[in-house]
Amino acid sequence: MLTHIRPVAALTGALVLAASLTACGGSSAASDEKVVTVYSADGLKGEAGDGWYDKVFADFEKQTGIKVEYVEGGSGEMVQRALREKSNTQADVLVTLPPFIQQAGSKGLLQAYAPQGSDRVDGADKAPDGTWTSIVNNYFGFIHNKKELPTAPKSWEELLDSRYKNRLQYSTPGVAGDGTAVLIKAMHDFGGREPAMEYLKKLQANNVGPSSSTSKLAPKVDKGELLVANGDVQMNFAQSKSMPNLGIWFPAKGDGKPTTFALPYAAGLVNKAPHGENGKKLLDFLLSEGAQREVSAVGGGFPARKDVKPTDANALALGKLLEGVEVFEPDWADIDENLTAYVDAWKSATGS
C-alpha cells in the first residue's frame, strides 16, 4: 500500500476537538474545521506531485481555505478501512473503483449527496440512490515494457508462454480494483466463471505473486523487471510521462477483438462524515467544469461530465488508444452480490 497523509497533526486535533465536544453533550464543531479527509484508490495523485489530485486539491484549498488530508491504497483496502472505522468515522470522502464503490454503498458507508454538476454525469456512472458519482472516467487495461517487448501481446493465450515466467504480475482481486477487474474481464472474455478460473489457474505458473496496489507494478514494468502487468488507462497514461517504457494494451480472447470496460473513479460522501459540509464542497469542486477540463490535460483520464469535451493532446491520444477496442458493460449488481464467491473461486484456482 502506498499511503500519503497530510498533515496528521491538524486532522488529529480536529478529531480530538470533535470527540471532546460530543462527550460534553454539545454539538460537534468538526464541520467548522478547515479540513476534509479523503480516502482514495491510487492513480489520481502524481508520482512527482503533478497529478490531477495534486492540482485540484491545491486549487480547492486556495479557493476555500480547506486543507485536504489524503490517504490512498487499493480500492478494496480503502473500503475495508472505512468499514473498520464505521463506529468512529475518520474519512469525509471515499473515492474507489467499481465494484468497491457499490460495496461501500451496500454496507452503509455512504450517504446520499448529488454534487453540483452530477446532473451532467451519465446515469450509468452514478448511483441510482445518489450515494456516489463518477469524478474521472477510466478503462481497464494492461501494460507492457516497450523496450524489451516492442509489440504488445494480442491475446490472453500468449501470456501463457514460458517467456513470461516470473515476468508477469497482476494485482490481487478483492483487494485492488484493477486486480478485481482482471477477474471481471476474464469472465467476460472466456464466457463465464469456470473457463476464466481454468485460464487463470494456468496463468499462475507465470505470475510473480500478489500485489495490494496496482500502481506499484508500473515501475517494475518500466524498469524491465516485469514484461507485462495489469493497470488502467488513466493511471498508466499518467505514469508514462515519467516512465517512458510503458505501453498500454488490451487482451483479446484468441483471435477476437480486444476488449475493455469502464472503470471510473467514483466518489461518495461518507456516512457520518466528521467534516461533511467540507466533503460536499470538495465533491462539488471535483465535478466543476474547470476541474473536469483538467482530467485529461493533467490527469491523463476521461472527464466524468458528458458536457466537458477536452481537445488537448492527451485527450486526443487517449481517444486513439481505444480505437478498435470493444467496450462492454459488466453486470455490477451481480458482481457486487457475488464478489466474495468470485474471489474465493480465484483463490481456489490459483492457490492464492
Phi, psi (degrees; rounded to nearest 5) at 136: -140, 125
- 269 or 333, which is more confident: 269
- 30 or 279, which is more confident: 279
CA–CA separation, 253 and 155 (whole Å):
6
Return the pLDDT at 321.
96
Return the pLDDT at 14.
35
pLDDT tens figures, 187-218:
999 999 999 999 999 999 999 999 988 999 99
CA–CA separation, 283 and 71 (whole Å):
16
- Indicate if the pLDDT at residue 180 is higher than 90: yes
- What's this model's pTM, rounded to 2 decimal places? 0.84
Band of pLDDT at residue 48, cut at 50, 70 and 90: confident
CA–CA separation, 213 and 190 (whole Å):
25
pLDDT tens figures, 312-351:
999 999 999 999 999 999 999 899 899 999 999 999 999 9
Q: Please count the other Cβ atoms lying within 10 Å of the Cβ belonging to residue 347.
A: 14
The mean pLDDT of 59-64, rounded to a whole number, is: 98
String of DSSP letters for 153-212: P-BTGGGGSGGGTTSEE-PPTTTSHHHHHHHHHHHHHHTSHHHHHHHHHHHTTTB----S
DSSP summary character for residue 232: E
CA–CA separation, 56 and 32 (whole Å):
21
What is the 3-class SS of 59-100, one letter each residue? HHHHHHCCEEEEEEECHHHHHHHHHHCCCCCCCCEEEECCCH
Band of pLDDT at residue 309, cut at 50, 70 and 90: very high
Return the pLDDT at 31.
53
Q: Which three cell numbers stand for residue 169?
A: 504480475
- Indicate if the pLDDT at residue 261 is higher than 90: yes
Return the pLDDT at 47.
80
Alpha helix segments (H runs only) across 65-176: 75-84, 100-106
Helix (H, G, I), strand (E, B) or coil at 347: helix
Return the pLDDT at 315.
96
Return the pLDDT at 103.
94
Q: Please count the other Cβ atoms lying within 10 Å of the Cβ belonging to residue 255.
A: 8
pLDDT tens figures, 156-175:
999 999 999 999 999 999 98
CA–CA separation, 237 and 6 (whole Å):
26
From the list 323, 320, 302, 316, the residue with the least C-alpha distance to 234 is 302
pLDDT tens figures, 123-159:
999 999 999 999 999 999 999 999 999 999 999 999 9
Contact (CB, 8 A) for 213 and 239 = no
The mean pLDDT of 244-261, rounded to a whole number, is: 97
Contacts of 341 (CB under 8 A, 6+ apart): none
Contact (CB, 8 A) for 317 and 310 = no
